[in-house]
Amino acid sequence: MSKNRAVNDAVARVAAHKVESGGVPGVVAGVTTDEETISLTAAGVRSLDDPQPMTTDSVFMIFSTTKALTGTVALQLVEQGDLDLDAPAREYAPGLAEVRVIDGFDAGGEPILRAPASEPTTKQLLLHTAGFGYDFFNEKYERLAREQGQPSIVSSTRKALETPLLFDPGTQWEYGSNIDWVGQVIEGITGTTLGEALQKRVLDPLGMTDSSFRPTSSMAQRQATMHQRTEGRLSATDFLLPEPEVEMGGHGLFSTVGDYLAFIRMWLNDGRADDGTVVLRPETVESATQNHLGDLKVKMLPGVIPSLSNDAEFFPGMPKSWGYTFMINEEDAPTGRPAGAVAWAGLANLYYWIDRQNRIGGYWATQIFPFADPESVGGYLEMETAVYDALKD
């Protein structure tokens, strides 16, 4: 049996087992080399309430797996000389001009704000060291939402972007709305919406015809339903990302696994699309997949809003850094993923990895809250392990 066939069979077995055991309602999983998709499989149903079968072209809200696409456009602008990563980001995104640091709350519950010691740069935004957070991972942001009416970032409103910094830029790593601000930087430079910039620069060159901030009617008909796990039981919900006032570079895309595999393949293929089109220069790809955090490390994400996220950390105890814009495991992972590979995830339990050393990567897509759902993330890690086992045999 060829290794490609072995990988395909292994992925299909994991997906089918995860559905048959009741772990997830449905899943689409895929694996690509630098040359082609070698596995794309669907199992289960799109919704527990309306059991249409999950199909390989099912559409998902991909949440934070949007970030790497936004980062790709930012890197293109660096290549063109239009973006200085070390300049104050407000030069491109004027909305950052008045940003303040929150040092806590006064006796009356009002936020205590001060000027930052330095201005956030686009590099810091890409690395999540600028100071922005998420309310589902940070107690100060959660309190701002609960007591001050700060809109959730998933509302995709201008007001949702207008949050304070949690610390002086460059001093800590905190996962948050930083890449949404990178989207604003891109809009300021290109003079277009983020969606238009993405379409022209990434989606069209890669043939990603089922990826958009605003789903087409065809995409909407194929969309998987969001599910909520409560006390171990899954139920379908009516959650849907709203029509965006601001196209959020950190979470807003709808896409398919097949489309995302084309994006992963570009990173595996040194920045080239399937037809040879250069999306990123090889030296940019090489640099982007290196640690840019210095001595800072990626830390555990505490589930501050239990309905949206559990506590989340990949490979606890293993040092992890950050590139442009994904996590880097600094040691070999127990799945078989080598040190130096990159990966990340989306809030509704979507996961990917990109292993440039072995020229292989994959994507696992479900629609389940809260994040770091043991069944879905467990299935993803089983899939990744099965892929590396198949490659060894």
Query: Which residues face 254 on adjacent strands?
Result: 61, 212
pLDDT of residue 1: 59
Question: Taking the complete model, does pTM exceed 0.75, yes or no?
Answer: yes
pLDDT of residue 249: 97
pLDDT of residue 295: 93
Query: Which residues face 42 on adjacent strands?
Result: 28
pLDDT mean across residues, the chain: 97
State the average pLDDT over residues 273-282. Answer: 98
pLDDT of residue 334: 97
Domains of the chain, each with CATH number or no CATH: 3-63+193-392 (3.40.710.10), 78-187 (1.20.58)
DSSP 242: P
What does the alpha-carbon distance between residue 190 and residue 247 come to, in Å, rounded to a whole number? 14
State the average pLDDT over residues 320-337. Answer: 97
Supply 226's token pair.
Answer: 């969001």
Percent residues over pLDDT 70 in the chain:
100
What does the alpha-carbon distance between residue 257 and residue 211 come to, in Å, rounded to a whole number? 10
What does the alpha-carbon distance between residue 190 and residue 167 come to, in Å, rounded to a whole number? 29
> According to DSSP H, which parts of 191-308 are helical?
194-198, 204-206, 217-221, 257-268, 282-288
Supply 281's token pair.
Answer: 């220069």
Measured at the CA of 382, the angle between CA 380 and CA 386, to 5 degrees, comes to: 120
Region of 232 please: left (phi>0), alpha (psi -120 to 50) or beta: left
CB 251 within 8 Å of CB 152: no
pLDDT tens-digit map of 55-114: 999 999 999 999 999 999 999 999 999 999 999 999 999 999 999 999 999 999 999 999
Q: Is the pLDDT of residue 159 over 90?
A: yes
Region of 294 please: left (phi>0), alpha (psi -120 to 50) or beta: left
The pLDDT confidence band at residue 296, using thresholds 50, 70 and 90, is: very high
CB atoms inside a 10 Å sphere around CB 81: 7
What does the alpha-carbon distance between residue 59 and residue 70 come to, in Å, rounded to a whole number? 19
What does the alpha-carbon distance between residue 231 and residue 66 come to, in Å, rounded to a whole number? 29
pLDDT of residue 393: 75
Active site amino acids? 64, 67, 175
Query: Which residues face 165 on adjacent strands?
Result: 101
- CA dihedral over 85, 91, 96, 100, signed as positive or negative: positive
Pairing assessment for the beta strands 227-230 and 368-369 based on DSSP bridges: parallel
Cis check for the bond before 370: say yes or no (omega within 30 of 0): yes
pLDDT tens-digit map of 365-387: 999 999 999 999 999 999 999 99
pLDDT tens-digit map of 21-63: 999 999 999 999 999 999 999 999 999 998 889 999 999 999 9
pLDDT of residue 387: 98
Measured at the CA of 301, the angle between CA 93 and CA 261, to 5 degrees, comes to: 70
Q: Is the pLDDT of residue 169 over 90?
A: yes
pLDDT of residue 2: 87
State the average pLDDT over residues 285-300. Answer: 97
